[in-house]
Structures are given as C-alpha cells and as structure tokens.
Amino acid sequence: MKKRKKIVIGSRGSKLALIQANWVKSQLEESNPDIKFSIEKFKTKGDKLTDAPLSRLGGTGLFTKELENALLDNKVDLIVHSAKDVPTEIPEGLVLGAFPKREDPHDVLISKNNQCLKDLPQNAVIGTSSLRRRAQILAFRQDLKVVDLRGNLDTRLKKLDSGDLDAIVVARAGLLRFSLSEKASEIIPYDIMLPAVGQGALCIEIRDIDDEVKEIISILNHHETMCEVKTERVLLAKLQGGCQVPIGAHTEIVFPVNLKLEAVVCSLDGTTIIRDSIEGKIDDFADIGYELAYKLLRMGGDTILEEIRKSLA
C-alpha cells in the first residue's frame, strides 16, 4: 500500500480548538517527518448560533456534525475534538481512534474580587452556558443568580470585566491550554461540582476503515485517559443525556488495576441531587459506567431527567 504524503486535520476555528489541533499536528509531525500535516477549519452549528442558550438549540452534535460530514466526505483525514462535545453516538463508519493524555477535568471559578464560591456576596451573579454547572452551583448556594453566558474564553473574560457579572465558571483545562491558569479564583472541588463527561480530554475521530491513519494516531493514545472517558461516555449513553443535560461525572484510576467512577444527576434548580460512585477493574470500564447509570436511574434520576427533557422540549 502506497503511503500518503499529506494528512488533513479537521478542527473548529475557535482559538482553543486551534490550540488543541495544532498540538496534535506538532506531535504527529514529530513522529512522521515524511508526511505533511495541515489543518482545515470548520464552523459548526454551535459556533454560528451564539445568541441562544445551548440547551435551547436542540439536537446533538452541535460542535461536531459539520466536522464529521467532512470526514465522511474524505475532505479531512482526522478530527480533533474536545471529548465533552462528542455525542455518545457517532456516525456509522467513524470511530474515536485515540485519546491523548487528559488535562485537569476540574471546573474553576473566576471572580472579580478573587473570591471563591462560598465567599461570593449574597445574590452574586454568575455566568455559565452549562446547565450542569448551573444546577450544581444552585445546589451549593440557592441565593446565587446564574445567567446564561455564551462565547469563547476571551469573550467570557471580557464580559466578566465589563458587565454585570460577579463571576464566571469555566473548565480549568481551557485555562491551562491558554496559559491563563492564574485567572482562576478557585479550583472548584469535586464534592461541589463534578465535571462534564470527557471534560479536559481530547479525542481524535477517524474513518473506521482508515488503517493508515489509525496507526499514525496510535502514538497519541493514553490508555488510562481512554478508559476514563469511555467509562463516562457509557454512563452518559445509558442515562440518555446529551451535552446540555445536568449530568456530571469524574473517573479516576485507582492504581494498579481499579477504576472509580462518581456521577451526579441534578434538577435544573439544584434542589434535587442524586449522586453515587462505583469502583471496579479497569478492564470492566463499560460495566462500571452502565452499572452506575442504572443505579442513579433507580435512585430517582429517571424522574429528574424526564422532567428536564419535558422542560427543554
């Protein structure tokens, strides 16, 4: 088989997405000096519709569909995603081929006066586009006012500096990739806020039949990250929760051979929280995700999720 000389990487056009895609490009160039790698930028539905809350846009694949169509049409050879944006069901003929080592999955608070969540003034206003963050903030402090905030990290920081917001909540991984970790007023502990499924991780999507690209990207796969993210995605699939449903999850490897998954399902107003954890062998990650999801549903998560789906319909 003749080896290809060019490989095109698909990416969203946001600053963060391009930082991530360029990192993948540099890693692959280092290992494959005889191949020319380039990046093709795409604008997804989620990038175009910035005025409406994500939860109201409907459907799945808000940040992936256009990229996946380009991959299926052979316009690109691989896609770099933030794992948290990827629906649990991906198009036939595509596969998640590699999971680079995960960055810190925590959420962080950035506040005007460098205060942590518990010290914000009464009725402080917090901006976030995430129902998951909103619900867990309200579960911790019912007095806080949470408002919708869309846009990339630069936009959110500018709105904090110039608007009526007292604080915003963002993913720590994004701050680290922007070299802005000092902006964080608080790394929010997991006992207050569990992250989104796949948060902090990248994943590389390819055509299932493309064995050459599959081999090329294999050097980027981090086994522990793959197990963690796949466990969380099994949980999310069983709960039938999309990116915009208030479900949080965190997986950690309990060395040498165990994996622990903790997850939460919240009502939108934060008044009802169902949370539990499960531990098992790393190789049984799919069973772990399924079992914890089933447990949460039996504990009342099914009722919460049904009410949320009705309210967002």
Unique residue bearing structure tokens 């896609």: 79
Helix then strand count (H, E) for the chain reads 11, 13
Q: Which domains does the chain have, with CATH numbers?
A: 6-100+201-221 (3.40.190.10), 107-187 (3.40.190.10), 235-312 (3.30.160.40)
Whether 148 sits among the annotated catalytic residues: the reply is no
Q: What is the pLDDT of residues 19-76, one digit of tens each?
A: 999 999 999 999 999 999 999 999 888 776 665 555 555 556 788 999 999 999 999 9
pLDDT of residue 129: 86
Give the active site residue among 85, 107, 166, 210: 85
Beta strands in 27-102 (DSSP E): 36-42, 78-82, 94-98
Counting as low any pLDDT under 70, the low residues of the chain are 1-2, 48-60, 241-244
**In this structure, are residues 171 and 95 in contact, taking their beta carbons and an 8 Å threshold?**
no
Q: What's the whole-model pTM score?
A: 0.93
pLDDT of residue 50: 60
pLDDT of residue 55: 53
pLDDT of residue 59: 54
Distance CA 35, CA 207 (A): 19
Which of 219, 227, 229 has the alpha carbon at shortest distance from 195? 229
pLDDT of residue 183: 96
